[in-house]
Amino acid sequence: MYKIIALGKSEFILGFRLSGIEAIETDQPETDFKKYMENQDVGIIITDEDSVMQLSVDLREKVEEAVKPVTVVLSTDATSNEALRKKIKKSIGVDLWSQ
């Protein structure tokens, strides 16, 4: 079974850690994303928009395009909901939002 991890600054990952999800605190998202993108045991990476924006353009594109692991970027922006919908559909082949 694949692991779910939360990756980001301490304020972001605290709730995930309290709920039992493996949480990795990072001040160097570039290094840690590379590490966990290559880890075959990781199926889902949960992160925040600030961490993703610190990545190089090439790595950011790789993160956004990857099917495994799927990266879920949490944001308060309403457009992120549509991005999450597309990523889930691409990953599992089903549109969970359709009726």
| CB contact burial 23-48 (16+ within 10 A = b; e otherwise) | bbebeebeebbbebbeeeebebbbbb
Runs of H (alpha helix) within the chain:
10-18, 29-37, 49-53, 57-65, 79-92
78 or 10, higher pLDDT = 10
- pLDDT tens by residue, 31-79: 999 999 999 999 999 999 889 999 999 999 998 888 899 998 887 565 5
Instruction: Give me the percent of the chain exceeding a pLDDT of 70.
Output: 93
Strand, helix or coil for residue 40: coil
Domains of the chain in start order, with CATH, are 3-92 (3.40.50.10580)
Q: Which strands, in side-by-side order, build the sheet including 70-74?
A: 22-25, 3-8, 42-48, 70-74
Its pTM stands at 0.75
